[in-house]
Each structure stands twice: as structure tokens, then as C-alpha cells.
Amino acid sequence: MGGYGDGSSPVKFMTGRRRFRVSRWIILSFACVLISGLLWCSYVFWNINRTSTTDPLTGGDAGIILGMSMWGDEPSPGLKERLDYGLKLYEQGKFSRFIVTGGLDKPDFKYTEAEGMRNYLVQQGVPGEDIYVENKATSTYENLLFSKEIMDREGWSTAVIITHTYHGRRAREIAVEIGYDRVELGLTDSKIMSMAWHKSREILAYTKWKGQQLILGFER
């Protein structure tokens, strides 16, 4: 009788080969997904690092400071960096008014991000009438969407978007998507925050934004 030298049957031999092919396909698919993910993360990281303040920064009708977490009744140290950089541009005459944007971090907090920013700017000598407050936003997209509603209401067309450098790429893309006439960035580096942590989070946030942008395109 014919057969296989190891005593296995043709059926078992073919089943083993089939399992091997399936296992190899799974491993190759996983490797492709992993390599694609690494390439995407590298691309996003490169884009994050190459985004900088608009040069030359001509200014605009308003400076929009994007929200960040509050520490109780005070802006967090990271948010103060954005505020201080915004103050610098304001004093340089790049814009004559602020829009501060950001909602309530926690239900028991006394101030929204925007209210905390307004309080800080007033303490630094900015007249209250030069500060427009947007209290609802819970994301960068909403920061810029609701700020544009203020701009449209007031008849303003240009703005300087103020945030940290690692956040600038996504902020600019969102502003363009929403329909800002001219997008200028005022970006500051952080001296106190962990860039490894925040840039890693930004890679995920940027990836989420690209998915959202794709959905917005289908909805048009």
C-alpha cells in the first residue's frame, strides 16, 4: 500500500499544509498592519515636528487661544504658556482682541477653560472688552468651529491661532476644513510639559482627526 513514510495519511498532510498557509497569511497580515502603523506614526510625528509659527506672521482680526486643562480655578502651567505667548503677540500688535475657547473640564470646577483664560488675561492687563469667551467647546474641532461663529457674528475674517507647536498641524488643518479665510499660527514650545507624552497623544488625536475629516467629506 502506498503512503507517507512517517505513517501520516494524505488527509492529515493536506490539513497540515492548509493550516500552515493560514498561519503564514495571518502572520504576514499582522506584519503588514504593524509596518503600516509604524510608517503612519512616523509620518505624523514628522509633520508635527515640522510645523511652526507662520513666517511672516502678519496678524489678524483676533487671536484665538485654544483651550487646555484648568487646575482648579487657575489655568494649568501648559495653558499659561499659551496665554503668555498670546499676550506677547497681542503686545506686538498682531491682533487687537482675543477669543478664548474651551468648556468645563469637571462638573465641580468653578470656571470653564475659557473663563479661566479670560481671568488670567484680565489679570495681566488686557481690557475685558477685548476678550471674547467661548464656553462650550470640548475638542480642538469645536474650539475652532465655535470661535469661527464668533468671528462671523462680529464680521471678522482673519485670525491667529495660538497653541503649542506639537498641536499646530492639526489645528491648521481643522481651521482650513472649517473655512477660515487665512490661517496663521502662533505656536509656542513648552518648557514644562513632557513632549514624549503629548506628542504620542497628538499622533492618536491627529489620526482620529483624519478619520473625522474623511467622514465630513462624505457628508458634503
Spell out the domain ranges in the chain. Answer: 1-50, 62-219
Q: For the residues 63-85, what does the mean pLDDT come to?
A: 97
**What is the pLDDT at residue 30?**
85
Q: Is the dihedral of CA 107, 72, 147, 201 positive or negative?
A: negative
Instruction: Please provide the average confidence, as pLDDT, over all residues in the chain.
Output: 92
Which residues are paired to 162 by β-bridges? Answer: 65, 186
Whether 42 shows a pLDDT value over 50: the answer reads: yes
Label residue 219 by pLDDT band (50, 70, 90): confident
Q: For the residues 141-160, what does the mean pLDDT come to?
A: 97
Q: Tell the CATH topology of 62-219.
A: Rossmann fold (3.40.50)
**What is the pLDDT at residue 24?**
80
Q: For the residues 97-109, what does the mean pLDDT come to?
A: 96
**What is the pLDDT at residue 25?**
82
Whether 12 shows a pLDDT value over 60: the answer reads: no
